[in-house]
Amino acid sequence: MILPEPVVFTKPLHVWLGMIILLLVLTQISLGITLVKTGNRKVYFFHTRVVWVILIIIALIHGFYGFQIYFLK
């Protein structure tokens, strides 16, 4: 299955997905530090459920685009 190569603001989609992954990883690190300092249950839920799932989904899409560009073209 070959995905189209959309261009958003003059950059390919896989570049934007990589930037979003970087921001989500930084968010995970900051939430983890906050969790260690406070132990808040809302921070724990957000850290382990919400951001983690979004991060995995975007990383899989980003990886599939990278695999397609490197191996299938």
pLDDT tens readout for residues 7-24: 767 778 788 889 999 998
72 token code pair? 């299938």
Task: Give 7's contacts (C-beta < 8 A, 6+ positions apart).
Answer: 13
pLDDT value for 4: 63
> Global pTM?
0.75
In whole angstroms, give the CA distance from residue 29 to residue 10. 30
In whole angstroms, give the CA distance from residue 22 to residue 18. 6
